[in-house]
Amino acid sequence: MRSVEIIVVGGGPAGSSAAARLVAAGVDVLLLDRERFPRHKLCAGWITPRVVSDLGIDVAAYPHRFLSFRRLHWYLKGVHLPVPCLQHSIRRFEFDAWLLERSGVEVVHHAVKDVRADGEGFVIDGEYRCRYLIGAGGTRCPVHRALFRDLAPRERALQTATLEIEFPYDWRDPDCRLWFFEHGLPGYSWYVPKDRGWLNVGIGAVALRLKERGDDLREHWRRFAEKLDDQLGIRVPEEPTGYSYYLRAAGEAARRGNAFLVGDAAGLATRDLCEGIGPAVQSGQRAAAAILGGGEYDLRDVGAASLGGGWITRAMDWAIHRGEAPRPALP
């Protein structure tokens, strides 16, 4: 059995952010991921300036696709609102692999199945032993499943369902577009261009509210694809792929002794725009700091809202969740 001080399960932005801090501090750390990188990850790949600064990315030196939007177009009940902004897009296929490599962590290709507490530490699949464990395995993280299911059960009312596709496309429109609540969708659809001829389009909604309405996300997708074709002249080349994840709940429990949950494993995506990369990075960095400094693992200031937590966030929260889910502390 191999023994290390810290094991990180999952090499997405949450896991690589934690690993980068731990490696920089000279700690003995190993990262396990069931996929070989670069790996496909469903995601629009919109990132905020905060993500860029938290990760200390020198944009000029970033070797892959990176596009900055100067305008975000909101569409709400027939109203079109172009908002000046500075936001960015990346391709997750490239971004995650680059972050993981940059972290310098040793990565082992291993699908984690069994996680057990063993004294002060943990044993994984009878093959790896560690003193600290960071669960960064996304929605279906095996660390959550084994150690946190009772402490932090998944909140069904906060589960999102998504459909999306990313494909090579010679776009002419460099702005990001978001359509809210079309045909009663409890969520939104998006158009996110990527640098050098790629495009991501998708649709996301609260799964429980869709079910209550007897609604079908594929039917919403069909209408969205028609709109893209009719209004923007975009033919989506194939069927989209689906994925689901959880938005930020109130009072989440993300630490149990020496085990930590970060990113989607902890259900940290924002409740208004379902933004998960920023919270993944911040929580990964905080988990590493808590291990290194022996301090608290405090997620209170990891924002539960992308839109600042003011009245727009509250209105969005109501429109999407109808107050059915427990309210988190905002932002």
Ligand X SMILES: Cc1cc2nc3c(=O)[nH]c(=O)nc-3n(C[C@H](O)[C@H](O)[C@H](O)COP(=O)(O)OP(=O)(O)OC[C@H]3O[C@@H](n4cnc5c(N)ncnc54)[C@H](O)[C@@H]3O)c2cc1C
Among 7, 30, 42, 217, binds ligand X (CB under 6 A): 42
Residue 107 or 291: the one with the smaller Cβ distance to ligand X is 107
Determine, following the binding rule CB under 6 A, whether residue 135 of this chain makes contact with ligand X: no
- Per CB under 6 A, contacts with ligand X among 219-248 are 243, 245
The answer to the question of residue 162 lying near ligand X (CB under 6 A) is yes
Q: Does residue 263 touch ligand X according to CB under 6 A?
A: yes
CB 309 within 8 A of CB 303: yes
Pick the closer one to ligand X by CB: 45 or 78.
45
**If binding means CB under 6 A, how many residues of this protein chain bind ligand X?**
39
Q: What is the rounded CA–CA span in Å between residue 280 and residue 87?
A: 17
Which residues inside 181-220 make contact with ligand X, applying CB under 6 A? 202
Q: Does 280 bind ligand X (CB under 6 A)?
A: yes
**Which is it for strands 29-33 and 106-109: parallel, antiparallel or unpaired?**
parallel
CA distance 62 to 40: 19
User: How big, in percent rounded to 5, are the helix, strand and coil portions of the chain?
Assistant: 30, 30, 40
**Minimum distance, C-beta of residue 142 to ligand X, in the bound complex (Å):** 4
User: Taking CB under 6 A as the rule, does residue 32 contact ligand X?
Assistant: yes
State how far the alpha carbon of 69 is from the alpha carbons of 74, 173, 189, in Å.
13, 10, 17
Instruction: Give the residue, chosen from 136, 146, 199, 291, that forms a contact with ligand X under the rule CB under 6 A.
Output: 136
| Cis amide leading into 331 (omega within 30) | yes
Check binding of 328 to ligand X (CB under 6 A). Answer: no
- Give the residue closest to ligand X by C-beta: 276
69 makes contact with ligand X (CB under 6 A): no
Subset of 85-114 contacting ligand X (CB under 6 A) = 111-112
x/- letters, 110..129, toward ligand X (CB under 6 A) = -xx-----------------
Does 148 interact with ligand X (rule: CB under 6 A)?
no
- Continuous H helices in the chain: 13-24, 49-54, 92-103, 142-143, 207-212, 217-232, 277-293, 311-321
Measured CA to CA, the distance from residue 234 to residue 249 in angstroms comes to: 36
138 makes contact with ligand X (CB under 6 A): yes
Characterise 320 by phi-psi region: left (phi > 0), alpha (psi -120 to 50), beta (else).
Answer: alpha
Identified binder of ligand X from the candidate list 7, 13, 185, 320, rule CB under 6 A = 13
User: Is 50 among the residues that bind ligand X (CB under 6 A)?
Assistant: no
Which of 257, 304, 296, 251 is CA-nearest to residue 278? 304
Gap between the Cα atoms of 235 and 224, Å rounded = 11
Closest Cα partner for 199 from 234, 229, 227?
A: 234
Rule CB under 6 A: say whether 331 interacts with ligand X: no
Closest CA to 36 of 105, 91, 133, 110: 110
Angle 84-89-92 from CA coordinates, rounded to 5°:
160
Q: Can residue 264 be called a binding residue for ligand X (CB under 6 A)?
A: yes
Residue the block writes with tokens 């000279």? 26
Q: Would you count residue 137 as binding ligand X (CB under 6 A)?
A: yes
CB of 38 to ligand X, least distance (A): 10
Using the minimum distance from each CB to ligand X, give the nearer residue, 78 or 221. Answer: 221
> Which of the ranges 35-43, 76-84, 146-154, 220-228 carries the binding residues for ligand X, by CB under 6 A?
35-43
Q: Write the single-letter amino acid at 207.
A: A
Binding positions for ligand X, rule: CB under 6 A: 9-15, 32-35, 39, 41-46, 111-112, 136-138, 140, 142, 162, 164, 202, 243, 245, 263-265, 269, 275-278, 280
